[in-house]
A and B are shown apart, each in its own frame.
Chain A
Amino acid sequence: MTVAIIDCGGANLRSVQRAVELRNMKTIITNDRNVVSNASFVILPGVGSANSVMNNLITNNLVPTIKNLTQPVLGICIGMHVLFDHSEEHDTECMGIIAGNIKKFKADINTKVPQMGWNKVTFINSCEDKLNDHYYFANSYYSPIYDHTLAAADYNLPYSAAVQTNNYYGCQFHPEKSSQAGQRFLDYFFNSNEDITRY
Protein backbone atom coordinates (compact mmCIF):
# COMPACT_ATOMS: atom_id res chain seq x y z
CA MET A 1 0.00 0.00 0.00
CA THR A 2 1.90 3.03 -1.25
CA VAL A 3 0.69 6.59 -0.91
CA ALA A 4 1.85 8.88 -3.71
CA ILE A 5 2.26 12.47 -2.52
CA ILE A 6 2.33 14.73 -5.56
CA ASP A 7 5.10 17.36 -5.49
CA CYS A 8 3.48 20.64 -6.55
CA GLY A 9 6.33 22.82 -5.33
CA GLY A 10 6.27 25.15 -2.34
CA ALA A 11 4.25 22.67 -0.33
CA ASN A 12 4.91 21.42 3.15
CA LEU A 13 5.60 18.02 1.67
CA ARG A 14 7.60 16.63 4.52
CA SER A 15 4.83 17.28 7.07
CA VAL A 16 2.26 15.53 4.92
CA GLN A 17 4.66 12.65 4.36
CA ARG A 18 5.35 12.26 8.05
CA ALA A 19 1.64 12.37 8.97
CA VAL A 20 1.02 9.56 6.47
CA GLU A 21 3.99 7.54 7.73
CA LEU A 22 2.54 7.78 11.25
CA ARG A 23 -0.50 5.90 9.90
CA ASN A 24 1.90 3.07 8.95
CA MET A 25 1.67 3.71 5.22
CA LYS A 26 4.55 3.76 2.75
CA THR A 27 4.97 7.08 0.98
CA ILE A 28 6.60 8.39 -2.14
CA ILE A 29 6.91 12.04 -3.11
CA THR A 30 6.63 12.13 -6.86
CA ASN A 31 5.78 13.88 -10.10
CA ASP A 32 5.94 10.67 -12.12
CA ARG A 33 2.65 9.78 -13.84
CA ASN A 34 3.22 6.03 -13.61
CA VAL A 35 4.04 6.16 -9.92
CA VAL A 36 0.89 8.23 -9.28
CA SER A 37 -1.30 5.87 -11.35
CA ASN A 38 -0.03 2.77 -9.58
CA ALA A 39 -0.24 4.06 -5.98
CA SER A 40 -2.93 2.75 -3.63
CA PHE A 41 -3.74 6.30 -2.52
CA VAL A 42 -2.86 9.69 -3.93
CA ILE A 43 -2.47 12.91 -1.95
CA LEU A 44 -2.27 16.34 -3.52
CA PRO A 45 -0.93 18.64 -0.79
CA GLY A 46 -1.37 22.31 -0.75
CA VAL A 47 0.59 25.31 0.24
CA GLY A 48 0.99 27.99 -2.39
CA SER A 49 -1.55 29.42 -4.78
CA ALA A 50 -4.06 27.72 -7.08
CA ASN A 51 -2.36 28.93 -10.23
CA SER A 52 1.13 27.87 -9.14
CA VAL A 53 -0.16 24.39 -8.24
CA MET A 54 -2.09 24.11 -11.55
CA ASN A 55 0.96 25.27 -13.51
CA ASN A 56 3.06 22.61 -11.83
CA LEU A 57 0.50 19.90 -12.60
CA ILE A 58 0.27 21.03 -16.25
CA THR A 59 4.06 21.24 -16.64
CA ASN A 60 4.38 17.68 -15.37
CA ASN A 61 1.49 16.53 -17.60
CA LEU A 62 -0.32 15.22 -14.51
CA VAL A 63 -3.83 16.59 -15.14
CA PRO A 64 -5.11 13.70 -17.37
CA THR A 65 -3.47 11.20 -15.00
CA ILE A 66 -5.19 12.67 -11.92
CA LYS A 67 -8.56 12.81 -13.74
CA ASN A 68 -8.37 9.09 -14.55
CA LEU A 69 -7.48 7.82 -11.08
CA THR A 70 -9.83 5.26 -9.53
CA GLN A 71 -8.08 4.89 -6.16
CA PRO A 72 -8.89 7.30 -3.29
CA VAL A 73 -7.42 10.77 -3.90
CA LEU A 74 -7.16 13.47 -1.21
CA GLY A 75 -6.56 17.12 -2.04
CA ILE A 76 -5.46 19.23 0.93
CA CYS A 77 -6.22 23.00 0.98
CA ILE A 78 -4.99 24.30 -2.42
CA GLY A 79 -4.80 20.64 -3.41
CA MET A 80 -8.56 20.51 -2.85
CA HIS A 81 -9.14 23.79 -4.71
CA VAL A 82 -7.52 22.52 -7.91
CA LEU A 83 -9.93 19.54 -7.97
CA PHE A 84 -12.81 22.03 -8.48
CA ASP A 85 -13.86 23.73 -11.75
CA HIS A 86 -12.44 27.14 -11.00
CA SER A 87 -10.76 29.22 -8.27
CA GLU A 88 -11.07 32.96 -7.80
CA GLU A 89 -7.40 32.95 -6.79
CA HIS A 90 -5.71 34.55 -9.83
CA ASP A 91 -8.85 33.51 -11.81
CA THR A 92 -7.50 29.97 -12.20
CA GLU A 93 -9.11 27.29 -14.36
CA CYS A 94 -8.81 24.07 -12.33
CA MET A 95 -9.16 20.35 -13.12
CA GLY A 96 -12.97 20.14 -13.02
CA ILE A 97 -13.12 16.84 -11.13
CA ILE A 98 -15.36 18.17 -8.35
CA ALA A 99 -18.18 20.48 -9.47
CA GLY A 100 -18.17 24.02 -8.13
CA ASN A 101 -16.10 27.13 -7.67
CA ILE A 102 -13.62 28.29 -5.04
CA LYS A 103 -14.35 31.77 -3.69
CA LYS A 104 -12.46 34.34 -1.65
CA PHE A 105 -13.45 35.26 1.90
CA LYS A 106 -14.47 38.90 2.03
CA ALA A 107 -12.63 40.76 4.77
CA ASP A 108 -14.85 42.83 7.04
CA ILE A 109 -14.97 43.93 10.64
CA ASN A 110 -15.74 40.35 11.82
CA THR A 111 -13.80 38.43 9.19
CA LYS A 112 -10.05 38.61 8.99
CA VAL A 113 -8.55 37.17 5.85
CA PRO A 114 -6.81 34.74 5.75
CA GLN A 115 -8.68 32.51 8.16
CA MET A 116 -5.86 31.29 10.36
CA GLY A 117 -6.22 28.86 13.21
CA TRP A 118 -8.37 26.08 14.63
CA ASN A 119 -12.02 25.93 13.63
CA LYS A 120 -14.78 23.53 14.62
CA VAL A 121 -15.68 21.05 11.90
CA THR A 122 -18.99 19.15 11.74
CA PHE A 123 -19.44 16.18 9.44
CA ILE A 124 -22.81 16.13 7.67
CA ASN A 125 -23.34 12.37 7.96
CA SER A 126 -23.94 11.34 11.57
CA CYS A 127 -21.93 8.11 10.96
CA GLU A 128 -18.86 10.34 10.94
CA ASP A 129 -19.64 12.04 14.27
CA LYS A 130 -16.40 10.80 15.75
CA LEU A 131 -14.51 13.03 13.32
CA ASN A 132 -16.20 16.22 14.58
CA ASP A 133 -13.39 18.24 16.14
CA HIS A 134 -11.23 21.34 15.80
CA TYR A 135 -8.96 21.28 12.74
CA TYR A 136 -6.25 23.70 11.61
CA PHE A 137 -7.04 26.07 8.73
CA ALA A 138 -4.91 28.65 6.91
CA ASN A 139 -6.82 29.91 3.90
CA SER A 140 -8.15 32.98 2.11
CA TYR A 141 -10.25 30.98 -0.39
CA TYR A 142 -13.01 28.46 0.33
CA SER A 143 -15.58 26.16 -1.21
CA PRO A 144 -19.20 27.09 -0.50
CA ILE A 145 -21.52 24.37 0.78
CA TYR A 146 -22.44 21.99 -2.07
CA ASP A 147 -24.29 18.67 -2.33
CA HIS A 148 -20.92 16.96 -2.13
CA THR A 149 -19.93 18.72 1.10
CA LEU A 150 -18.74 16.08 3.55
CA ALA A 151 -18.11 18.40 6.51
CA ALA A 152 -18.89 22.04 7.21
CA ALA A 153 -17.33 24.82 9.27
CA ASP A 154 -18.24 28.44 9.87
CA TYR A 155 -16.25 31.61 9.30
CA ASN A 156 -19.03 34.19 9.42
CA LEU A 157 -20.52 32.07 6.66
CA PRO A 158 -20.82 28.30 6.38
CA TYR A 159 -18.27 26.71 4.06
CA SER A 160 -17.03 23.24 3.09
CA ALA A 161 -14.38 21.89 5.47
CA ALA A 162 -14.29 18.65 3.46
CA VAL A 163 -15.86 17.48 0.20
CA GLN A 164 -16.19 14.21 -1.70
CA THR A 165 -17.13 13.19 -5.23
CA ASN A 166 -16.70 9.47 -5.95
CA ASN A 167 -13.08 8.54 -5.09
CA TYR A 168 -11.97 12.19 -4.85
CA TYR A 169 -11.80 13.75 -1.39
CA GLY A 170 -10.80 17.26 -0.45
CA CYS A 171 -10.20 18.92 2.88
CA GLN A 172 -9.80 22.64 3.43
CA PHE A 173 -8.06 22.06 6.78
CA HIS A 174 -4.55 20.66 7.13
CA PRO A 175 -4.86 17.13 8.60
CA GLU A 176 -1.06 16.95 8.85
CA LYS A 177 -1.14 19.93 11.24
CA SER A 178 -4.34 19.11 13.11
CA SER A 179 -2.90 16.96 15.88
CA GLN A 180 -4.95 13.85 16.79
CA ALA A 181 -8.03 15.09 14.92
CA GLY A 182 -6.01 15.20 11.70
CA GLN A 183 -4.69 11.68 12.27
CA ARG A 184 -8.25 10.37 12.70
CA PHE A 185 -9.29 12.07 9.47
CA LEU A 186 -6.36 10.47 7.59
CA ASP A 187 -7.37 7.06 8.98
CA TYR A 188 -10.89 7.71 7.71
CA PHE A 189 -9.49 8.51 4.25
CA PHE A 190 -7.25 5.45 4.22
CA ASN A 191 -10.23 3.27 5.19
CA SER A 192 -12.40 4.80 2.46
CA ASN A 193 -11.39 2.15 -0.08
CA GLU A 194 -13.83 -0.34 1.39
CA ASP A 195 -16.98 1.74 1.26
CA ILE A 196 -16.39 3.87 -1.80
CA THR A 197 -18.95 1.81 -3.73
CA ARG A 198 -21.82 3.13 -1.65
CA TYR A 199 -21.46 6.57 -3.20
Chain B
Amino acid sequence: MITKRIIPCLDVKEDKVVKGVKFKNHKIVGSILDLAEKYSDDGADELVFYDISASTKGAIVNRDWVSRIAEVINIPFCVAGGIKTLDDAREILNLGADKISINTPALDNPKLIKQLSNEFGSQCVVIGMDVKIIDNKAYLFAKTGSEKTAYSTDILATDWIVKVQELGAGEVVVNAMGQDGVKNGYDIELLQSLESKCSIPMIASGGAGGPDDFINVFNQTDVDGALAASIFHRNEFSVGQIKEALKANKINVRI
Protein backbone atom coordinates (compact mmCIF):
# COMPACT_ATOMS: atom_id res chain seq x y z
CA MET B 1 0.00 0.00 0.00
CA ILE B 2 0.90 3.61 -0.38
CA THR B 3 3.13 5.09 2.32
CA LYS B 4 2.46 8.11 4.51
CA ARG B 5 4.39 11.11 3.23
CA ILE B 6 6.70 13.44 5.16
CA ILE B 7 6.89 16.79 3.40
CA PRO B 8 9.30 19.55 4.40
CA CYS B 9 7.88 22.92 3.47
CA LEU B 10 10.15 25.74 2.38
CA ASP B 11 8.75 29.26 2.53
CA VAL B 12 10.62 31.24 -0.09
CA LYS B 13 11.03 35.00 0.04
CA GLU B 14 13.25 36.84 -2.42
CA ASP B 15 15.21 33.67 -3.32
CA LYS B 16 15.89 32.59 0.29
CA VAL B 17 14.14 30.11 2.54
CA VAL B 18 12.52 31.87 5.48
CA LYS B 19 10.40 30.81 8.43
CA GLY B 20 8.10 32.84 10.61
CA VAL B 21 5.85 32.18 13.56
CA LYS B 22 2.11 32.40 12.95
CA PHE B 23 2.80 33.88 9.51
CA LYS B 24 4.97 36.79 10.71
CA ASN B 25 8.53 37.75 11.72
CA HIS B 26 10.14 35.77 8.91
CA LYS B 27 13.83 34.98 9.35
CA ILE B 28 16.22 33.61 6.72
CA VAL B 29 17.05 29.94 7.34
CA GLY B 30 19.13 29.07 4.30
CA SER B 31 19.50 28.73 0.55
CA ILE B 32 16.77 27.07 -1.48
CA LEU B 33 18.99 24.60 -3.29
CA ASP B 34 21.06 23.54 -0.26
CA LEU B 35 17.94 22.78 1.77
CA ALA B 36 16.16 21.07 -1.13
CA GLU B 37 19.08 18.74 -1.64
CA LYS B 38 19.53 18.08 2.07
CA TYR B 39 15.88 17.15 2.66
CA SER B 40 15.80 14.99 -0.44
CA ASP B 41 18.91 13.11 0.77
CA ASP B 42 17.34 12.74 4.23
CA GLY B 43 14.41 10.80 2.74
CA ALA B 44 11.76 13.49 2.26
CA ASP B 45 8.92 12.10 0.14
CA GLU B 46 8.16 15.42 -1.45
CA LEU B 47 8.94 19.11 -1.03
CA VAL B 48 6.71 22.16 -1.11
CA PHE B 49 7.99 25.61 -1.99
CA TYR B 50 5.77 28.52 -1.07
CA ASP B 51 6.79 31.80 -2.62
CA ILE B 52 5.32 34.04 0.04
CA SER B 53 6.59 37.25 -1.55
CA ALA B 54 4.91 36.47 -4.89
CA SER B 55 1.43 35.98 -3.52
CA THR B 56 1.34 39.10 -1.36
CA LYS B 57 2.89 41.45 -3.93
CA GLY B 58 0.64 40.23 -6.71
CA ALA B 59 3.68 38.95 -8.61
CA ILE B 60 4.25 35.56 -10.20
CA VAL B 61 6.82 33.18 -8.68
CA ASN B 62 10.35 33.74 -9.86
CA ARG B 63 10.74 30.89 -12.35
CA ASP B 64 14.50 30.73 -12.14
CA TRP B 65 14.65 28.82 -8.86
CA VAL B 66 12.00 26.33 -9.98
CA SER B 67 14.22 25.00 -12.75
CA ARG B 68 17.25 24.99 -10.48
CA ILE B 69 15.36 22.86 -7.93
CA ALA B 70 14.47 20.39 -10.70
CA GLU B 71 18.20 20.13 -11.43
CA VAL B 72 19.22 19.11 -7.92
CA ILE B 73 16.44 16.77 -6.71
CA ASN B 74 14.66 13.74 -8.15
CA ILE B 75 11.69 13.57 -5.84
CA PRO B 76 8.40 15.36 -6.53
CA PHE B 77 7.94 18.98 -5.59
CA CYS B 78 5.08 21.42 -5.51
CA VAL B 79 5.28 25.16 -6.12
CA ALA B 80 2.88 27.68 -4.65
CA GLY B 81 2.67 31.43 -4.78
CA GLY B 82 0.83 33.82 -7.04
CA ILE B 83 -0.16 31.26 -9.70
CA LYS B 84 -3.25 32.75 -11.29
CA THR B 85 -3.56 31.45 -14.84
CA LEU B 86 -3.18 28.32 -16.97
CA ASP B 87 -0.06 29.80 -18.53
CA ASP B 88 1.53 30.43 -15.12
CA ALA B 89 0.88 26.79 -14.21
CA ARG B 90 2.09 25.42 -17.55
CA GLU B 91 5.40 27.23 -17.30
CA ILE B 92 6.05 26.02 -13.75
CA LEU B 93 5.18 22.41 -14.58
CA ASN B 94 7.36 22.49 -17.69
CA LEU B 95 10.26 23.75 -15.58
CA GLY B 96 10.08 20.50 -13.60
CA ALA B 97 7.56 21.06 -10.81
CA ASP B 98 5.10 18.21 -10.35
CA LYS B 99 2.26 20.11 -8.79
CA ILE B 100 1.10 23.63 -8.31
CA SER B 101 -0.70 24.74 -5.19
CA ILE B 102 -3.16 27.60 -5.17
CA ASN B 103 -4.98 29.34 -2.36
CA THR B 104 -6.11 32.94 -2.93
CA PRO B 105 -6.58 32.67 -6.74
CA ALA B 106 -8.85 29.65 -6.18
CA LEU B 107 -10.91 31.57 -3.62
CA ASP B 108 -11.15 34.54 -6.01
CA ASN B 109 -11.94 32.38 -9.06
CA PRO B 110 -12.98 28.78 -8.24
CA LYS B 111 -13.34 27.97 -11.98
CA LEU B 112 -9.54 28.13 -12.19
CA ILE B 113 -9.43 24.78 -10.34
CA LYS B 114 -11.51 23.14 -13.06
CA GLN B 115 -9.47 24.70 -15.85
CA LEU B 116 -6.21 23.55 -14.28
CA SER B 117 -7.36 19.99 -13.69
CA ASN B 118 -8.81 19.67 -17.19
CA GLU B 119 -5.58 20.90 -18.72
CA PHE B 120 -2.95 19.21 -16.58
CA GLY B 121 -4.78 16.44 -14.70
CA SER B 122 -6.06 16.65 -11.15
CA GLN B 123 -2.82 15.13 -9.78
CA CYS B 124 -1.11 18.47 -10.51
CA VAL B 125 -3.66 20.63 -8.72
CA VAL B 126 -3.23 21.15 -4.99
CA ILE B 127 -5.45 23.47 -3.01
CA GLY B 128 -3.81 25.16 -0.05
CA MET B 129 -6.35 25.83 2.69
CA ASP B 130 -5.19 28.31 5.32
CA VAL B 131 -7.70 27.84 8.10
CA LYS B 132 -8.27 29.71 11.33
CA ILE B 133 -10.84 28.88 13.99
CA ILE B 134 -13.03 31.87 14.84
CA ASP B 135 -15.90 31.34 17.32
CA ASN B 136 -15.58 27.56 16.92
CA LYS B 137 -15.89 27.74 13.14
CA ALA B 138 -13.08 27.01 10.67
CA TYR B 139 -12.77 29.83 8.11
CA LEU B 140 -10.58 30.08 5.02
CA PHE B 141 -8.01 32.88 4.95
CA ALA B 142 -6.62 34.54 1.82
CA LYS B 143 -3.34 36.35 1.04
CA THR B 144 -1.64 34.68 3.98
CA GLY B 145 1.93 35.33 2.79
CA SER B 146 2.16 38.23 5.20
CA GLU B 147 0.26 39.30 8.27
CA LYS B 148 -0.46 42.69 6.68
CA THR B 149 -2.34 41.25 3.71
CA ALA B 150 -4.03 38.21 5.28
CA TYR B 151 -7.78 38.42 5.68
CA SER B 152 -10.63 36.09 6.60
CA THR B 153 -13.15 35.05 3.97
CA ASP B 154 -16.67 34.02 4.95
CA ILE B 155 -16.04 30.55 3.47
CA LEU B 156 -16.14 27.60 5.86
CA ALA B 157 -13.43 24.94 5.49
CA THR B 158 -16.05 22.15 5.47
CA ASP B 159 -17.82 23.76 2.48
CA TRP B 160 -14.67 24.65 0.57
CA ILE B 161 -13.15 21.16 0.80
CA VAL B 162 -16.28 19.72 -0.88
CA LYS B 163 -16.32 22.39 -3.57
CA VAL B 164 -12.66 22.06 -4.58
CA GLN B 165 -13.10 18.30 -5.02
CA GLU B 166 -16.13 18.85 -7.28
CA LEU B 167 -14.01 21.22 -9.36
CA GLY B 168 -11.23 18.65 -9.83
CA ALA B 169 -8.59 19.36 -7.18
CA GLY B 170 -6.22 16.44 -6.66
CA GLU B 171 -5.03 17.16 -3.14
CA VAL B 172 -5.62 19.55 -0.27
CA VAL B 173 -3.14 20.88 2.25
CA VAL B 174 -4.96 21.88 5.42
CA ASN B 175 -2.89 24.46 7.22
CA ALA B 176 -4.01 25.33 10.73
CA MET B 177 -2.93 28.96 10.94
CA GLY B 178 -3.17 29.04 14.72
CA GLN B 179 -0.60 26.23 14.89
CA ASP B 180 1.88 27.66 12.38
CA GLY B 181 5.43 27.60 13.73
CA VAL B 182 4.32 27.09 17.34
CA LYS B 183 5.21 23.37 17.45
CA ASN B 184 2.53 22.07 19.79
CA GLY B 185 1.06 19.49 17.45
CA TYR B 186 -1.17 19.32 14.40
CA ASP B 187 -4.77 20.46 14.79
CA ILE B 188 -6.23 16.94 15.08
CA GLU B 189 -9.76 18.21 15.70
CA LEU B 190 -9.77 20.34 12.55
CA LEU B 191 -8.41 17.49 10.42
CA GLN B 192 -10.96 15.05 11.85
CA SER B 193 -13.77 17.48 11.06
CA LEU B 194 -12.70 17.53 7.38
CA GLU B 195 -11.63 13.94 6.67
CA SER B 196 -15.11 12.46 6.18
CA LYS B 197 -15.72 15.07 3.46
CA CYS B 198 -12.43 14.38 1.65
CA SER B 199 -11.96 11.62 -0.94
CA ILE B 200 -8.72 13.09 -2.34
CA PRO B 201 -5.36 13.01 -0.52
CA MET B 202 -5.23 15.37 2.45
CA ILE B 203 -2.03 16.77 3.96
CA ALA B 204 -1.77 18.09 7.52
CA SER B 205 0.14 21.32 8.04
CA GLY B 206 0.97 23.56 10.98
CA GLY B 207 2.22 22.67 14.43
CA ALA B 208 4.75 19.83 14.07
CA GLY B 209 7.23 19.96 16.96
CA GLY B 210 8.52 16.41 17.24
CA PRO B 211 8.06 12.73 16.31
CA ASP B 212 5.02 12.32 18.59
CA ASP B 213 3.11 14.95 16.63
CA PHE B 214 3.59 12.96 13.41
CA ILE B 215 2.68 9.68 15.15
CA ASN B 216 -0.46 11.28 16.59
CA VAL B 217 -1.64 12.83 13.33
CA PHE B 218 -1.28 9.54 11.44
CA ASN B 219 -2.84 7.47 14.22
CA GLN B 220 -5.74 9.80 14.92
CA THR B 221 -6.63 11.11 11.47
CA ASP B 222 -6.84 9.81 7.95
CA VAL B 223 -4.28 12.25 6.46
CA ASP B 224 -1.93 11.00 3.72
CA GLY B 225 0.99 13.19 4.59
CA ALA B 226 2.30 15.64 7.11
CA LEU B 227 4.02 18.86 6.25
CA ALA B 228 6.53 20.59 8.54
CA ALA B 229 9.06 23.39 8.39
CA SER B 230 10.55 24.68 11.66
CA ILE B 231 11.69 21.34 13.11
CA PHE B 232 13.59 20.50 9.93
CA HIS B 233 14.97 24.01 9.29
CA ARG B 234 16.29 24.25 12.85
CA ASN B 235 17.85 20.77 12.68
CA GLU B 236 15.82 19.65 15.67
CA PHE B 237 14.92 16.43 13.88
CA SER B 238 15.86 15.05 10.47
CA VAL B 239 13.29 13.60 8.10
CA GLY B 240 14.99 10.23 8.63
CA GLN B 241 14.54 10.41 12.41
CA ILE B 242 10.84 11.20 12.04
CA LYS B 243 10.41 8.27 9.66
CA GLU B 244 12.23 5.86 11.99
CA ALA B 245 9.90 6.91 14.82
CA LEU B 246 6.86 6.36 12.58
CA LYS B 247 8.13 2.97 11.46
CA ALA B 248 8.69 1.94 15.09
CA ASN B 249 5.00 2.79 15.63
CA LYS B 250 3.95 0.59 12.70
CA ILE B 251 3.07 3.49 10.42
CA ASN B 252 3.85 2.65 6.80
CA VAL B 253 6.64 4.92 5.52
CA ARG B 254 9.27 4.76 2.79
CA ILE B 255 12.70 4.17 4.32
Query: CB within 8 Å of B: which residues of A?
Result: 10-15, 18-19, 22, 47-49, 52, 78, 107-108, 112-120, 134, 136-140, 154-156, 174, 176-179, 182-183
Contact = CB atoms under 8 A, between A and B. Distances in A.
13 contacts: A14-B67, A15-B70, A18-B70, A18-B74, A114-B170, A116-B170, A116-B201, A118-B45, A138-B99, A140-B121, A154-B1, A176-B74, A179-B74
Contacts of B235: none
A47 B93 contact: yes
Q: Give the size category of B's interface with A.
A: 35 or more
B5 A118 contact: yes
B121 A78 contact: yes
B121 A112 contact: no
A18 B71 contact: yes
A134 B3 contact: yes
Given A11-B94, A48-B119, A117-B3, 13 more contacts: A47-B98, A47-B123, A48-B120, A49-B120, A52-B119, A112-B202, A112-B224, A114-B171, A118-B254, A140-B121, A177-B75, A177-B98, A179-B74
Given A15-B70, A117-B224, A49 B121 contact: yes
B169 to A, nearest CB: 10
B123 to A, nearest CB: 4
Nearest to B170: A114
B74 A155 contact: no
A52 B75 CA distance: 25
A119 B2 contact: yes
Nearest to A89: B121
B34 to A, nearest CB: 18
A136 to B, nearest CB: 6
Nearest to A14: B96
B129 interface: no
* Chief secondary structure at chain A's binding surface: mixed
B60 interface: no
Contacts of B119: 10, 48, 52
B1 A179 contact: no
Interface in B138-192: 170-171
A182 B224 CA distance: 22
B149 to A, nearest CB: 30
B76 A138 contact: yes
A12 B71 contact: no
Contacts of A155: 1-2
Contacts of A19: 74
Nearest to B253: A118
Q: Which 9 A-B pairs have the closest CB atoms?
A: A138-B123, A107-B199, A134-B254, A15-B96, A118-B254, A14-B96, A116-B201, A114-B123, A119-B2
Given A113-B199, A114-B201, A117-B224, A137 B93 contact: no
B56 interface: no
Nearest to B99: A138
A47 B48 CA distance: 19
Interface in B114-130: 118-124
Given A112-B224, A114-B200, A177-B75, A12 B98 contact: yes
Contacts of B123: 47, 114, 116, 138-140
B40 interface: yes
B97 interface: yes
A13 B122 contact: no
B225 A117 contact: yes
A112 B4 CA distance: 13
A118 B2 contact: yes
A47 B70 contact: no
Contacts of A179: 40, 74-75
Contacts of B46: 117
A88 to B, nearest CB: 14
B90 interface: yes
Given A154-B1, A177-B75, A12 B97 contact: yes
Given A10-B119, A112-B201, A116-B201, A137 B74 contact: no
B35 interface: no
A116 B2 CA distance: 8
Interface string B63-85: 00001001100111000000000
Contact of B94 (A13, A107, A118, A183): A13
